[in-house]
Chains A and B, each alone.
Chain A
């Protein structure tokens, strides 16, 4: 089957899911925006004085980065863990393209949905807080898409564990928390922190969001390398655990 049909199929699945469970979709968005508004006013209650506005803008960008990072990381783990429990992961394994291909296409769709989600979230939270900032969304998205594979790789590693060890909820929740730190760390310019997944991408997104910083090819290369290494590592780890699960008859045994 063509990749295009696979992509179309996963888009359709996402739309069915959003339409049939609209309360969950809308409720989730409102809940996260509510959380941000609470954070925003919490931060505002502290005395920021001179740098107040800049700090609040940073808070919004950080929040959007975290929203996207969570969507990217969770898209893979959600499929493997939820579908194992909901009961059709085996059917994804017995398709001609194989589970990894389906996971990657599902992730791409989730990322596109994630971008739509953070766009709505950005304008909704700016409107709710009255803190309008000038953001260059296309450049912001480009940086996020370049950096996303590193988080997909992390998701594949955790999903690989889930295939064999089944209950990895605690590890998954810890990772979701760790993402908050990842989006705050500066992975650029190149240094030891550049080796941490997603950190160069988060820095690039912060640099590009204002639209004032020029594109540095070296920075882009670091982000691509970070993404490539973690995606490859994730695929290898997932493949290894898939093999173990097949040898021990663990697929879907929940």
Chain B
């Protein structure tokens, strides 16, 4: 559906997008991750043609967006910074207005908007203009406008910003439903890693305008270990334990210390069984010991650290 091909954008000497390439297929939800200033918003704005890029191309259904504006009929966007809706209108009026700009109108649209309004928890504010809504509800109104006309591709720049937990959950459900049942594709930027973890099948990580990872979430986590063991022991034992880790932990792992805590990241639970048995034999009683699966947040952090070291 969407194909970004070696897109490059610079401001003077500063390159903000450096030959980035990735694809978004129909029905796929892709996360676009990266630190502040890594090029996420520039990428989204380039897809919407709010920014002119110098090299490369962006294809929508195999047609260059430079030559055909009609693709915008099938694309929706919730851009960052609450810059999406007319604050003098109500949420529903906005949804109808922006849907009509893409050629959608009628009774069916109104029913769809009404259903979405209820799901997003905006029903009680039906008569209020957006300017009278809270920040979170303004964001919901922007989402309502973008979801109303069911675009084939929806670009969401920080969609969970200011949303309460219930609405984030409902948004996850809506995205899941729209992508699986209607084949809609989503390209999402967010700092909420649990949100990304739940809804996205694929992740593209940007660092200083370059793609440093492009693949599915499972392979990102796999490439960056699956579990983390955190153990707190007396400081004088840490060196000894670290040596034992090297002997007892089989396979791929990495360890590091912070204050009196030792952290071991590894791939399967069996890898640390030997270490746990050894601690037990030595009568070392840790003050604290946990083993947990690595979250999307940990995976992302590790990737960024690796990229910086490289």
Q: Which residues of A are in contact with B by a Cβ distance under 8 Å?
A: 1-2, 5-6, 8-9, 12-13, 16-17, 20-21, 83, 86-98, 102, 243, 246-249, 251-252
B129 neighbours in A (Cβ, 8 Å): 20
**Residue from the list A9, A21, A246 in contact with B50, Cβ < 8 A:** A246
B42-80 near A? 1/0 per residue, CB < 8 Å: 100100111110000000000000000110110101010
**Residues on the A chain within 8 Å of B52, using CB:** 243, 246-247
Q: A87-B83, A249-B51 are in contact. Are A96 and B88 (CB under 8 A)?
A: no
- The CA of A90 and the CA of B86, in the complex, are separated in Å by 11
In the complex, A251→B41 CA distance in Å? 13
- Neighbouring A residues of B251 by C-beta, 8 Å: none
CB-nearest residue of chain A to B100: A9
Taking the closest CB of chain B, its distance from the CB of A25, in whole angstroms, is 12
Complex: A17 Cα to B87 Cα, angstroms: 11
A243 to B66, CA, bound (A): 13
B93 interface hit (Cβ, 8 Å):
yes
Task: Note all chain B residues with C-beta closer than 8 A to A8.
Answer: 100
Residues of A with C-beta under 8 A to B75: 94
B259 within 8 A of A: no
Chain B at the A interface: mostly helix, strand, loop or mixed?
Answer: loop
User: Of all chain A residues, which has the CB nearest B52?
Assistant: A246
Interchain pairs with CB closer than 8 A, number: 99
Distance to closest chain B CB from A164 (angstroms):
13
Contact A1 B103 (CB under 8 A): yes
* Contact between B85 and A91, CB atoms less than 8 A apart: yes
Kindly list chain B residues whose C-beta atoms are within 8 Å of the C-beta of A247. Answer: 51-52
> In the complex, A86→B86 CA distance in Å?
7
Tell me, in angstroms, the Cα distance from A96 to B85 when the chains sit together. 17
Q: B50 touching A96 by the CB < 8 A rule?
A: no
B101 at the interface (CB under 8 A from A): yes
Please tell me if the beta carbons of B50 and A93 are within 8 angstroms of each other in the complex: yes
CB distance from A241 to the nearest CB of B (A): 13
Is the C-beta of B84 less than 8 angstroms from some C-beta in chain A?
yes
Quick one: CB contact mask for B125-149 with A, threshold 8 Å, 1 for yes?
A: 0000100000000000000010000
Tell whether, in the assembled complex, residue B51 and residue A86 are in contact, meaning their CB atoms are under 8 Å apart.
no
In the bound assembly, the distance between CA atoms of A83 and B129 in angstroms comes to: 16
Within 8 Å by CB of A93, from B49, B70, B105, lies B49
Provide the bound-state CA to CA distance between A16 and B130, in Å. 13
* Residue from A13, A17, A243, A252 with most neighbouring chain B CB atoms (10 Å): A13
- Is residue B22 contacting chain A, with contact meaning CB distance below 8 A? no
Taken together as a complex, chains A and B put the C-alpha atoms of A86 and B94 apart, in Å, by: 13
For the complex, count residues of B whose C-beta is within 8 A of A: 35
Does B102 lie at the interface of the complex (its beta carbon under 8 Å from any beta carbon of A)?
Answer: yes
Min CB–CB distance B98 → chain A (angstroms): 6
Contacts of B100 in A (CB 8 A): 1, 5-6, 8-9, 12
Pick from A90, A98, A102: contact of B69, CB below 8 A. A98
Minimal Cβ-Cβ distance residue in A for B103: A1
A-chain residues with CB within 8 Å of residue B79 when the two chains form the complex: 90-91, 252
A95 to B101, CA, bound (A): 7
- Taken together as a complex, chains A and B put the C-alpha atoms of A71 and B284 apart, in Å, by 83
A171: min CB distance to chain B, Å? 24
Q: Cβ of A88 and Cβ of B50 under 8 Å apart?
A: no
Q: How distant is the Cα of A87 from the Cα of B80 in the complex, in angstroms?
A: 11
B82 interface residue, CB < 8 Å from A?
Answer: yes
List residues of chain B with CB within 8 A of the CB of A87.
Answer: 81-85, 87
- State whether A246 touches B101 (Cβ < 8 A): no
Closest to B54 in A: A247
A-B contact pairs, 9 of them (CB 8 A): A6-B100, A21-B88, A86-B87, A87-B83, A88-B85, A92-B101, A93-B48, A249-B51, A251-B51
A249 to B9, CA, bound (A): 10
Which residues in B have their C-beta under 8 angstroms from that of A248?
A: 11
**Chain A hits for B87, CB < 8 A:** 86-87
Contact present for B45 and A1 (CB under 8 Å) = no
A87-B87, A252-B79 are known; give 15 further A-B pairs, CB within 8 A.
A1-B101, A5-B105, A8-B100, A16-B89, A90-B50, A91-B84, A91-B145, A93-B50, A94-B50, A96-B69, A96-B72, A246-B52, A249-B11, A249-B42, A252-B50
Contacts A5-B105, A16-B89, A102-B101 given; indicate if A94 touches B83 (C-beta within 8 A). Answer: no
